[in-house]
Amino acid sequence: MIGSHTMLCCLIGDPVAHSLSPRMMNAAFRELGVDCAYLAFRVTKGDLAAAVAGLRALGVLGCNVTIPHKTCIASHLDRLDESAVPSGSVNVISNSCGELVGHNTDGMGAMRALEDGGARLKGARVLILGYGGSARGVAFEIARRRSVAEILVSGRSLPDASRLARDLSSLSLASALPLNMCGEAKADIVINCTPVGMDGSGASMLRQEDLRSDCTVLDLVYSPPETELLRLARAAGCRAICGLEVLVQQGARALEIWLGRSAPIGAMRRAVFGEAQPQAEADQ
């Protein structure tokens, strides 16, 4: 029961109405017996500075950050953890005795989802769709491991894709690719880091003919769990991985940062996959 000693964690972003994080995180707190509540707050770009000041003033234990704030929020924090320094992208904030520290768990979450899903990263050509905060977190984590052959970045803006590719070049062979040429990439792994397909829009960054039958496709979008991109991937014979597993893995790491203890991943999975289509859970 919520009382005067209940701690608070939250999600900030725009939009947040679709988010399963409150269901997942509150299930984790119940499983651990931790007196903490988790809420989602819609915060516009113009209110971001005030929202961060509110986190500090209210003594919020921790915060998740989603689109469109992952890169611009860094300037409002006291410092960045080493997990967020290379990409400059923050999806987790911890409050350490009043010091707000930015972390990135997106990359780790995506890597674990790929590995658990059977993807082979060593020597792979990886196509990243997008160049925003999620894309940066995932791309830098992949590059940091120095096991893939090449990282290709694509999206609707070639200059923005090129900028991310240049930033990655000190860690990995990386280049930008026009969106209409993705079918020529011959990618082994495709990761959608854009919001395209969210809330069942039926949109996809790629066409079915852009996908090789032996590639792995991971969509960070999880609402709906069966996005148009994943539908096309299955139709092409690809291995398709739903973004719900990324949500669970990055959320588990966030809890470990905030609480200093292991996260109850089983309870977190049950909380989110309970709302997903059966096929999405089977693909994990």
What residues are annotated to the active site? 70
Q: Which two tokens stand for residue 37?
A: 């509540």
Spell out the alpha helix ranges (H) of 206-243. Answer: 228-235
Spatial separation of the C-alpha atoms in residues 260 and 139, rounded to whole Å: 26
38 with 92: CB under 8 angstroms? no
Q: What is the amino acid identity at position 104? A: N
Spatial separation of the C-alpha atoms in residues 111 and 71, rounded to whole Å: 20
Q: Which two tokens stand for residue 69?
A: 């704030």
Beta bridge partners of 127: 152, 190
Q: What is the amino acid identity at position 71? A: T
96 with 127: CB under 8 angstroms? no
Spatial separation of the C-alpha atoms in residues 245 and 110, rounded to whole Å: 8
Spatial separation of the C-alpha atoms in residues 249 and 267, rounded to whole Å: 12
171 with 195: CB under 8 angstroms? no
Spatial separation of the C-alpha atoms in residues 86 and 106, rounded to whole Å: 13
| Dihedral class, residue 97 (left if φ above 0, else alpha if ψ from -120 to 50, else beta) | left
